């Protein structure tokens, strides 16, 4: 990414510990300008994740509108991820109270206005189910040229995590994912192929506590909480899924990527939500996404630590 003008971003997600950490990374990068935060039901109910969005905005001193999005997927029933993210969807750290009321606009209306009003095309970083994004694409197809890219955490070209075939965000709303992948807008896909390699280990996140700033301490506390359930499942650290969708934009050099055709399977007892990659180009379809497949883990972790360091030291803990 090399630009003199700031790149406008919309952060759409279901925070969620890793969504929140992704937004810390986005807020820390002076090359980005966060235009809006939009909440979507996923890791917890819409009411809970929306509240988390406002608290994260307060933590990061983001003076932007936060809008509530879709309460349920387009067609499917909502599955929440409370086992991983706790009762609030973002358990583990005391957060500042929200500074602003919710936007009077819905997530889709706010996204549409941001796109319409932006001089430069906008990147949408979607780290929850793609429900809001699909609703936007259906309601305002004329705004597609204003979307520079949709960077998602979702899917897995070789495996799932919620079922053998499907990843949580895609399985929550496969129809929304299908609409996105067939919309003709550029998609950057960080699936489990890369995100399960994006590990941070306890000794690494302990260093955040030495930075003496509230954002770093909060990230460390989030990681402590997020690690509890993952440890029960045999993971030695935390898989930082959603931060990949931001760092693959800001630091593509630490990732490997491949342009390919990806389709989303909508039925089958075992296959609903599977993201199918046409690895060898046998379908004859042109690539519809850039899939992120690997990363330099140590550089990834040091970028997170440096981002947290950038939020200053000392005074906020006083
Ligand atoms: C995805 O599911 C959620 O629990 C995380 O926030 C991430 O977006 C990983 O499958
Ligand atoms: Ca998420």
Query: What residues does each domain of the chain span?
Result: 7-309
**Could you list which residues have their CB under 5 Å from ion ligand 2?**
14, 16, 19, 127-128, 242
Ligand 1 lined by 81 (C-beta under 6 Å)? yes
Whole-number Å distance, alpha carbon 317 to ligand 2 midpoint, is 28
Mean per-residue pLDDT over the chain, rounded: 96
Among residues 85, 241, 251, 285, the one annotated as catalytic is: 241
Query: Which pLDDT does position 3 carry in this prediction?
Result: 58
The H or E element that residue 36 is part of is strand 32-39
Q: What is the pLDDT of residue 317?
A: 44
**Whether residue 288 has pLDDT greater than 80:** yes
44 lines ligand 1 (CB under 6 A): no
Res 236 pLDDT > 60? yes
Q: CA dist 87 to 34, 54, 55, 152, 291, Å?
A: 28, 17, 16, 25, 32
Q: Name the residue among 16, 14, 154, 165 with its Cα closest to residue 84.
A: 16
Segment 223-239 shows an average pLDDT of 93
- Provide the β-strand partners of residue 256: 294
What is the mean predicted confidence (pLDDT) over 185-209?
97
In the predicted structure, residue 33 carries a pLDDT above the cut 90: yes
Which ligand 1 atom minimizes the distance to the CA of 161? 10
Question: What pLDDT is stored for residue 83 in this prediction?
Answer: 83
Architecture, CATH, for domain 7-309: Alpha-Beta Complex (3.90)
251 is catalytic: no
Answer yes or no: is the C-beta of 112 below 6 A from any ligand 1 atom: no
Nearest residue by C-alpha to atom 10 in ligand 1: 168
Which residues are within 8 A (CB) of 144 and not within 5 positions of it... i.e. 6 or more apart?
137, 183, 184, 185
Q: How far is the CA of 166 from the centre of ligand 1 (A)?
A: 12
16 CA distance to ligand 2 middle (Å): 6
CA–centroid distance, 42 to ligand 1, in Å, is: 8
Among the bound ligands, the one closest to the CA of 239: 1
């Amino acid at each position: 990414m090399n630009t003199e003008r700031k790149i406008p971003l919309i952060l759409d997600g279901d925070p969620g510990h890793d969504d929140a950490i992704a937004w810390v990374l986005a807020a820390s990068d002076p090359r980005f300008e966060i235009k809006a935060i939009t909440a979507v039901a996923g890791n917890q109910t819409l009411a809970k994740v929306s509240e988390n969005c406002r608290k994260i905005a307060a933590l990061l001193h983001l003076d932007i509108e936060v809008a509530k999005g879709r309460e349920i997927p387009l067609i499917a029933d909502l599955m929440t991820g409370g086992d991983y993210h706790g009762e609030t969807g973002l358990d583990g750290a005391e957060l500042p109270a929200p500074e602003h009321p919710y936007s009077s606009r819905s997530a889709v209306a706010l996204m549409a206005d941001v796109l319409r009003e932006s001089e430069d095309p906008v990147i949408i970083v979607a780290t929850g189910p793609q429900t809001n994004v699909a609703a936007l694409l259906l309601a305002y197809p004329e705004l597609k040229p204003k979307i520079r890219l949709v960077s998602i955490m979702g899917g897995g070209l070789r495996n799932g995590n919620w079922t053998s075939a499907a990843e949580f965000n895609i399985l929550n709303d496969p129809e929304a994912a299908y609409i996105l992948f067939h919309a003709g807008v550029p998609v950057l896909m960080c699936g489990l192929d890369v995100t399960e390699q994006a590990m941070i280990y306890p000794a690494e996140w302990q260093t955040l506590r030495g930075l003496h700033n509230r954002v770093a301490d909060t990230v460390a506390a989030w990681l402590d909480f997020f690690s509890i359930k993952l440890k029960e499942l045999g993971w030695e650290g935390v898989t930082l899924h959603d931060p990949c969708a931001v760092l693959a934009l800001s630091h593509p050099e630490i990732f490997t990527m491949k342009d390919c055709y990806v389709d989303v399977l909508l039925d089958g007892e075992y296959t609903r939500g599977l993201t199918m990659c046409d690895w060898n180009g046998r379908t004859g379809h042109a690539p519809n996404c850039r899939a992120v497949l690997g990363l330099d883990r140590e550089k990834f972790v040091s970028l997170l630590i440096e981002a947290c360091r950038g939020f200053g030291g000392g005074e906020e803990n006083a």
